[in-house]
Amino acid sequence: MKRPSRRRHSWVLVSFGLLLIHTHPAPAHDSFLVASRNSAAEPCTVRVSLRTAEGFPASEYQTKPARVDEWIVISGRTRKPVSGYTIQGLELAADLALEEPGLHVIATSLHPRFIEFGADHFNRYLRDEHAGQVIALRKGRGQTDQPGRMCYTKLVKTFVEVGAQPTEDYKQPAGHTLEIIPLSNPCRWRVGDQVVVRVLYEGRPAAGMRVSSGHEGLAPHAFVEDVFTDSEGQARFRLTRPGLWFLRTHLIRSVGPAKARRAHALPADWESFWASITFRVGG
């Protein structure tokens, strides 16, 4: 397992930087955007569903349409909004007609949601997650006995390739605060491949980020690998079996000045971002 880079970046918060979290309370439920297929020989209609759960890929919780901030399809130089998504069982789903050949990046961002932990719950949560930096920061602020107030945002993507014309559109960012960018075509990944992705935070490569890989059939909160990004924001993974996979990463940061809190109109002291991609691995 790779170790976090010690390289300093100008955007790191104070001396505490970014803190990565694997959580179990409510915001810990990962969200994923899953396509009914990730490749097609010719134009087709693909069902894409937003799923939220502790395990992968079945959804355990509904996401209401009003939670969606943006849902888009990126292809070439076009960015088309997705409309008509509806709740279907425990999923929020849309049928997308992909008529143009090429690689389509499908990306969804949700509006931030506020959660408040009691002081004991939040401190236990931080200890369980080995969040020493946040524990120290709360202590320095005199907040150890105060509730933990957090806004969290989910940012999810998947990819569908139509036809066989080579393209590098999979590298196109969606513009999310935190996102994972494949550095090779994820619609063509196969068992045994070692694949490389880059994590972007506010559009720039993010070092020292923990990225976790997993596939369908794993126990909740279980991962195949945990890899830390290098100084270029890159992480490498080995794909060991066919089927549906995901990569996910997460950071939490201090909200900072009052104007940042006003952006959410909520009294949050912490802000976190969850990002994931899904893809299918060929045999």
Domain ranges for the chain: 26-281
Farthest-apart Cα atoms in the chain, separation: 60
For residue 252, the cross-strand partners are: 19, 272
Tell me which residue of 108, 111, 114, 102 sits closest to 164, measured CA to CA: 102
> What local confidence, expressed as pLDDT, does residue 9 receive?
33
Separation of alpha carbons 72 and 168, rounded Å: 18
Q: What is the pLDDT of residues 41-66, one digit of tens each?
A: 999 999 999 999 988 999 999 999 99
Concatenated DSSP letters of 56-102: SSS--B---GGGEEEEEEEETTEEEE----EEETTEEEEEEEE-SSE
What is the arithmetic mean of pLDDT over 32-45?
97
pLDDT at 261 over 70: no
> What local confidence, expressed as pLDDT, does residue 23 receive?
35
pLDDT at 69 over 90: yes
Cα–Cα–Cα angle for 137, 141, 147, rounded to 5 degrees: 85
Q: What is the pLDDT of residues 210-225, one digit of tens each?
A: 899 999 999 988 899 9
Give the HSE-up count for residue 152: Cα atoms under 13 Å, Cβ half-sphere: 21
pLDDT band at 280 (very low <50, low <70, confident <90, very high): very high
List all residues 6 or more positions away from 221 whose beta carbon is below 8 Å from its beta carbon.
22, 24, 28, 54
The distance in angstroms from the start CA to the end CA of the chain is: 25
Q: Express the helix, strand and coil content of the chain in percent, nearest 5 each.
A: 15, 45, 40
* CA pseudo-torsion sign 226, 255, 33, 233: negative
| Residue in the structure block whose two tokens are 């888009």 | 72
Q: What is the pLDDT of residues 165-195, one digit of tens each?
A: 889 999 999 999 999 999 999 999 999 999 9
User: Helices 119-128 and 132-140 sit at what angle, rounded to 10 degrees?
Assistant: 140
Q: Is 207 helix (H, G, I), strand (E, B) or coil?
A: coil
Instruction: Confirm if 107 and 72 have CB atoms less than 8 A apart.
Output: yes
Q: What is the pTM of this model?
A: 0.85
